[in-house]
């Protein structure tokens, strides 16, 4: 189980910093873009799926990651796309 603090997520860059530290400790890396995050979820970067991610202050992070991005033939928010990526790789996300 890992805990992600959404209070410090202000944008995509701060999300990658926060997820890196949640998984691998201070200064930890767990991707710097969506493709790298997906690669890290394949293993070898400090966490092996399946695992559970407790996302604290997720409502705050959702509001800040509201940018819409393409996802196949549709558009979704960055927040929702992150949840889809986690789910697709076997990460259970508990929004708190």
Task: Provide the residue range defining the domain that includes 33.
Answer: 2-95
Say if CB 66 and CB 79 are below 8 A apart: yes
Q: What is the pLDDT of residue 63?
A: 98
pTM here is: 0.92
β-pairing verdict for 91-95 and 51-56: parallel
Q: Look at residue 46 in the predicted model and tell me its pLDDT.
A: 77
Per residue in 51-74, pLDDT (tens digit) is: 999 999 999 999 999 999 999 999
Q: Strand order of the sheet with strand 2-5?
A: 2-5, 51-56, 91-95
- Decide: 1 and 51 in contact? Cβ < 8 Å: yes
Give the count of domains, the chain.
1
Domain harbouring 67, CATH code: 3.30.370.10
Query: What Rg, from alpha-carbon coordinates, does the chain have?
Result: 12
What pLDDT does 45 receive?
A: 74
pLDDT for position 43: 78
């Amino acid at each position: 189980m890992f805990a992600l603090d959404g209070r410090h997520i202000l944008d995509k860059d701060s999300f990658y910093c926060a997820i890196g530290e949640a998984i691998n400790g201070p200064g930890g890396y767990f991707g710097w873009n969506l493709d790298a995050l997906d690669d890290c979820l394949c293993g070898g970067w400090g966490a092996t799926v399946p695992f559970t991610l407790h996302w604290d202050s997720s409502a705050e992070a959702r509001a800040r990651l509201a940018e819409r991005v393409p996802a196949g033939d549709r558009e979704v928010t960055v927040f929702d796309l992150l949840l889809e990526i986690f789910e697709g790789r076997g990460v259970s996300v508990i929004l708190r």
